[in-house]
Amino acid sequence: MGPMANPVRTQTTVSNWDNVSRRIAHTLYRRHQDLESSMTRKVFIPKNGKTAPTKMALTIPELLAPAGNLEKLRAAIHYGADAVYLGGGDFSLRAHAVLNREDVASAVDYAHEHGVKAYITVNILAHNTDLKGVSDYLPFLAEIGADGLIIADPGILREAKRLVPEVPIHLSTQANTTNASSALFWQEQGVSRINLARELTLAEIGAIRKQVATELEIFVHGAVCISYSGRCSLSLYMTGRDANRGNCAHPCRYRYVLEEEKRPGHYFPVEEDGRGTYIFNSKDLCLLRRIPALIAAGADSLKIEGRMKSVYYVGAIVRLYRAALDYTAQKIREDGEGVLTTLQLPQCFIEELPKIGSRGYTENFIDGPPDSDDMLYGGIRVEQTHAPIGIVRKPGDKPFVEMRNPLNAGEKIEFLGQNFAQWTAHVVGITTEKGESVDRANPGSFVYLETEPALDVWQEDGLLRRKSPLLKEEE
């Protein structure tokens, strides 16, 4: 099967393989993945016949990236994700970041063509009415070759074991697994991977690792729900939109004021500044600096949140964490596993963070319960030093770029390459698809860019950005 069609320029369609051919292709893919995994993954042996494992080898965790649509999936894979997770229109906790069945099938095919695994979210906390389509949907996911099902609800888990026992089950963080006994329980139910609760410290993660054989997945970057393991009822109470069934209204990001009941319209001064107070607004999780420690603790997969974030966010964050994991792997090869206790990531990795949109950063519970310093009270976001410009759709002497923000001739741009490579140039010419020379490219347009110096490094799906116009350009 050829490459997936460009999701922006053409309608993506499913191949015309018959079901038998598709099953054969995905069976061969899984056998290849299993063989590769058996050679690289941690190896465990029982202790005295008990379920507690002994770690025999150390490996670099999988980098698991969000794919809210086909374009984001391509960006994640381009910048080095080992696996992606995505949701179909059924049973997913991101109602506004779902793909139809045709696109889910195309996404799985595209991932497999690039040696990347694809996990499908089936992670709502289901009511009886939600279960009606399970008997049809889960076999569909097995048929298209999904590498795992991300599940939170025990009822859906039971149906998955009954209907598609061959597909691995990954337990969602919504199941809030916070101790080794719970992890062992889920392991005994046939779960092959557990996404541990965000409320765990590094020491607790390490302790669970020593007692279970199932894979452990850790959220390392992205938005943090104010509720325990994301099981929020605030949205349903305030807006009627059930967060646990995929329709969160994000009331934790609202601006709040205090109003006295008998004096409507009279607001009391509880705000941190004149804009109000964001009393539930947590900073974003960032465990970039803790990658060496998470590897030492035995994490099998590091997960990035963000199916509803922009393609720039997905690509840039995956690129950063890929570089950090590769750097750590190189240091282990050079100096051995002992280097993990003292290893510090290069400053250039840390300096990349403000260039990507966020609410500021916190390490959340990794060293203990967070406090007021881990909240963002002054607004909904922090100032971003760089802004995305566009995406390279066709490389060449003059790259063909889909614009996402305005760009003027004469501006300095940055091209984000793979392997954390980066190039800077000035735009000296902008040409439309019709061959017309213009001084400005607007969002939604497709243009050819001429740069000084001329570059030969352009890559399809590569991202372009510039320093924010609000910040003074460095000489």
Q: What percentage of the chain exceeds 70 in pLDDT?
A: 71
90 exposed, middle or buried (CB, 10 Å; 0-12, 13-18, 19+)?
buried
Distance of alpha carbon 451 from alpha carbon 438, whole angstroms? 14
**pLDDT greater than 80 at residue 398:** yes
Instruction: Domain 19-224+282-374: give its CATH architecture.
Output: Alpha-Beta Barrel (3.20)
> What is residue 111's predicted lDDT score, i.e. its pLDDT?
98
Same CATH topology for 19-224+282-374 and 386-467: the answer is no
- DSSP at 229: G
Q: CB-based burial of residue 241 (10 Å sphere; 0-12 exposed, 13-18 middle, 19+ buried)? A: middle
What does the pLDDT read at residue 224? 73
Residue-wise DSSP of 48-83: TTSS-EEE----PPEEEEE-SSHHHHHHHHHTT-SE
For the chain, give every domain's residue range: 19-224+282-374, 228-268, 386-467
Model pLDDT for residues 148-178, shown as the tens digit of each residue: 999 999 999 999 999 999 999 999 998 999 9
Query: At residue 414, what are phi and psi to the nearest 5 degrees?
Result: -120, 135
Contact between residue 51 and residue 290 where contact means Cβ atoms under 8 Å apart: no
In angstroms, the CA 226 to CA 361 distance is 14
pLDDT in tens, 211-258: 999 999 999 998 776 665 555 556 555 566 665 555 666 555 556 565
More confident residue, 91 or 308: 308
- Give the pLDDT score at 240: 64
So what's the pLDDT on residue 126?
87
Enter the tokens of residue 457. Answer: 């490094």
In DSSP notation, 299-357 reads -SEEEE--TTS-HHHHHHHHHHHHHHHHHHHHHHHHH-GGGGGT----HHHHHHGGGS-
Q: What is the pLDDT of residue 69?
A: 94
**Dihedral class, residue 450 (left if φ above 0, else alpha if ψ from -120 to 50, else beta):** beta
Rounded CA-CA distance 96/307 in Å is 9
Distance linking the first and last C-alpha atoms of the chain: 49
- pLDDT tops 50 at residue 474: no
Lowest-pLDDT range of 5-19, 95-109, 454-468: 5-19
Name which residue leads in pLDDT, 101 or 234. Answer: 101
Element (H, E) at 425: strand 422-432
Question: Could you tell me which of 266, 472, 286 has the C-alpha nearest to residue 376?
Answer: 286
Lowest mean per-residue pLDDT among 19-28, 364-373, 435-444: 19-28
- Claim: this prediction has a pTM higher than 0.85: no
- What integer is the mean pLDDT of 204-208? 97
Residue 409, C-beta contacts closer than 8 angstroms, at least 6 positions apart: 427, 428, 429, 430, 438, 439, 440
What's the pLDDT score for residue 243? Answer: 55
**pLDDT at residue 325 tops 80:** yes
pLDDT of residue 30: 57
The CATH homologous superfamily of the domain defined by 386-467: Translation factors (2.40.30.10)
Nearest CA among 164, 95, 138, 158 for reference residue 307: 95
**Least confident segment among 16-30, 64-78, 98-112, 302-316:** 16-30
Q: Does residue 274 carry a pLDDT above 50?
A: no
**Once rounded to an integer, what is the mean pLDDT over residues 432-437?**
96
